[in-house]
Amino acid sequence: MASTISFAEEPVKLGVWSRVQDSLSQTWESKNYELYIPVNTWHNRNYYTSEKIDSYNEQPWGLGIGKYRFDDDGDWHALYVMTFQDSHNDVEPVAGYAFQNIWRPADDFRLGVGYTVGVTMRQDMHYLPTPVIAPLMSVAYKKIAVQSTYILGGEGHGNILFTWLRWQLQ
């Protein structure tokens, strides 16, 4: 008696690197664009003197653009570039990938929690490329979202809540 083995019913499992490449490729090929408008930089008052806070820019003029998509699970992925004024009023570019698990408690209303991985360059670090890994959270209604990240740090550096508007153009 001959036995037959069927592999057609088993889904192909991709390795981690293949899944990352596939996700980045799908996001890059998306026809959906969004605009980013920085609105606030809040320095955690528990880690800075009032003199330092008074010297910092907390209104970060800037602009960014990204390509985004929602995957089969409804989660958000984006590739982005943004430039804004940092705490010292110097230009700071950032580019990277972002992901958020999305919860939809009501029609057109979304809450997201995730992360971003990218590269930034700061004047006070001689514009050397610096890696960024940070948490992301957002509240969205239809095509507009308020999105934030918290940059961890220590006494007198980092510990910054950075917030921007995210507007889906398509």
Contacts of 115 (CB under 8 A, 6+ apart): 98, 99, 133, 134, 135, 136
| Active-site residue, 77 included | no
pLDDT digit string, tens, across residues 87-124: 999 999 999 999 999 999 999 999 999 999 999 999 98
| Active-site residue, 108 included | no
Q: Which residue from 162, 164, 136 is spatially nearest to 63, judged by alpha carbons?
A: 164
- Write down the catalytic residue from 6, 18, 43, 157: 43
- Report d(CA 145, CA 160) in Å as an integer: 20
CB 51 within 8 A of CB 21: no
pTM beyond 0.95: the answer is no
pLDDT digit string, tens, across residues 16-66: 888 889 999 999 999 999 999 999 999 999 999 999 999 999 999 999 999
pLDDT digit string, tens, across residues 109-165: 999 999 999 999 999 899 999 999 999 999 999 999 999 999 998 887 889 999 999
Residues comprising the chain, all counted: 170
Q: Is the model's pLDDT at 8 over the cut of 80?
A: no
| 34-35-40-43 Cα dihedral, nearest 10 degrees | 60
- Write down the catalytic residue from 54, 87, 107, 126: 87
| Active-site residue, 87 included | yes
Domains and CATH numbers, the chain: 16-168 (2.40.160.20)
pLDDT for the residue numbered 1 = 54
- Write down the catalytic residue from 23, 86, 148, 157: 86
Q: Which residue from 50, 118, 54, 59 is spatially nearest to 86, judged by alpha carbons?
A: 59
Q: Which residues pair with 19 in a beta bridge?
A: none
